[in-house]
Amino acid sequence: MADNADGDFEVDLISVVHLADPSYYHQLQADSAIYDRYLYELITSETSTAIGADGLRRVTADMQPTEGQVALARSYGLAPQMMCLDLRRHQHWVLADMSRERLQALQRESGEAVWGERLGIVEHMQEVGKALVVGRTADGRVLPKFFLTGGLNASALALRALMWLMPCPEAQVMLLDWARAWPAAGGVSAVLSAVIDRVLAGDIATAKKLAFAQQLVSGQRSGGGSTTSAAAASTSTSGGSSGGSGGGSADVLMTGRNAEVMRELRRSRLAGLQRVGVMYGCLHMRDLQERLRGELGMDRVGVRWVTAWDIPIGPATANQGRPAAEEARRWATVAGAALAYTAVGAWDWSDTFLHVSSELERGLSTDAAGAAAGAIGLYVLRHVYLYYGLAKW
């Protein structure tokens, strides 16, 4: 690790995932020994913590995961963070987070408990609307010699809009988006291929674990954080003199909790400590890096990756040595699934537009037009959600 100033203070941001193999958390616990102080996140009641003579807040109660966290982890063959980490083992582990009581009070004051949920719904609907109109790959070129030009032109958008009124529209729209991507999209993602392969092999546990990893990746991409799923990045940052103020997120959860981290980092620096670790969730890291640059004059100098869980089965290795009869059965399963998908799509389209035609046969009244528009709208909406989910792969 290098320092752009006097090198007297170093901070490692340990971006942690909350479900992983137990060995991942055991490694984090062991690696914490290299730090003078190890700051971590935990929203818990004030009665579960105590402030020591040194003014630092530490956990005093035995922390256990909720039943929901245990069930979720077990469904993926993983372990929850709170089941594996011992927050009271080391004296240099310090809680740098808001208490549950303070967080709830701030949420009430700001109205975040109500408006945050509504804002999340609005942002979600905006993303779904973008999937309907623009698609995942908005810029680029179309297939050579195709009659559409590249980018967001009227002809491409008109064709895309018409596709939503066809049978199985999500498949057609995804093919168009794939064709418009430049550089070339390159086909189905390796993760989706592996999930399909494991499902066809009857290995549902591995398929779920792969899908969960991809879900985390998609969440990080859409949330603006680092793309961390089956690995967590340990980002090393070091610096010298104090600087200006750093930017941050507008919500209470992000800015308030990250402010607690910065307060403890300043205290650590004033105490003459040289190396501090900060173990926090992935979505906090971008804001923390900006704050470290702006408020403490620090620069990122390196990234190290730690494996959170292994999934050794992949499409390439799974296909090796497979008997011809088994391969034929798998392809038959794929063909049957594709046939069933198109049959259901055709039935859905036929049923919807038969309903529309029967409504319009009553005449062009306001009620008939409204019923027809509602049926078409519901048809488009359910297929947009199918596309929206598939596009994250």
Is residue 193 in some structural domain?
yes
Nearest 5 degrees, angle CA 211-CA 306-CA 223?
50
Cβ atoms 378, 356 nearer than 8 A: no
Alpha helix ranges (H) inside 272-323: 285-296, 315-318
- Do 176 and 294 fall into the same domain? no
**Res. 145 pLDDT band, cuts 50 70 90:** very low
Is residue 42 in some structural domain?
yes
- Do 23 and 101 fall into the same domain? yes
Is residue 4 in some structural domain?
no
- Do 21 and 106 fall into the same domain? yes
Give the pLDDT of residue 266: 92
State how far the Cα of 303 lies from the Cα of 14, in Å rounded to an integer. Answer: 10
- Among the three residues 282, 307, 332, which one is the final residue of a domain in this structure? 307
| Element spanning 12, H or E | strand 9-16
- φ, ψ for residue 305, nearest 5 deg: -105, 140
State how far the Cα of 213 lies from the Cα of 197, in Å rounded to an integer. Answer: 16
The burial class, CB within 10 Å (0-12 / 13-18 / 19+), for 297 is: middle
Is residue 266 in some structural domain?
yes
Give the pLDDT of residue 34: 92
- Do 214 and 238 fall into the same domain? no
**Res. 33 pLDDT band, cuts 50 70 90:** very high
Give the pLDDT of residue 112: 52
- Per-chain mean pLDDT for the chain: 74
Is residue 164 in some structural domain?
yes
State how far the Cα of 192 lies from the Cα of 310, in Å rounded to an integer. Answer: 17
- Among the three residues 283, 307, 331, which one is the final residue of a domain in this structure? 307
- Do 303 and 317 fall into the same domain? no
Is residue 118 in some structural domain?
no
Give the pLDDT of residue 327: 67
Closest CA to 68 of 85, 80, 86: 80
Overall average pLDDT of the 102-115 stretch:
68
- Do 206 and 318 fall into the same domain? yes
Is residue 123 in some structural domain?
no
- Do 382 and 366 fall into the same domain? yes
- Do 28 and 144 fall into the same domain? no
- Do 319 and 295 fall into the same domain? no
The number of domains in the chain is: 2
Output the pTM of the full model. Answer: 0.62
- Do 184 and 74 fall into the same domain? no
**Res. 24 pLDDT band, cuts 50 70 90:** very high
Overall average pLDDT of the 144-164 stretch:
61
State how far the Cα of 26 lies from the Cα of 23, in Å rounded to an integer. Answer: 5
Query: Domain range holding 29?
Result: 9-111+230-307
- Measured on CA atoms in the order 172, 173, 177, 178, is the torsion positive or negative? negative
Is residue 3 in some structural domain?
no
- Do 13 and 144 fall into the same domain? no
- 231-239/298-307 β-pairing: antiparallel
Tokens read off for 345: 């799509």
- The one-character DSSP state at 298 is E
- Do 387 and 317 fall into the same domain? yes
- Among the three residues 256, 288, 307, which one is the final residue of a domain in this structure? 307
% residues pLDDT > 70 (the chain): 68
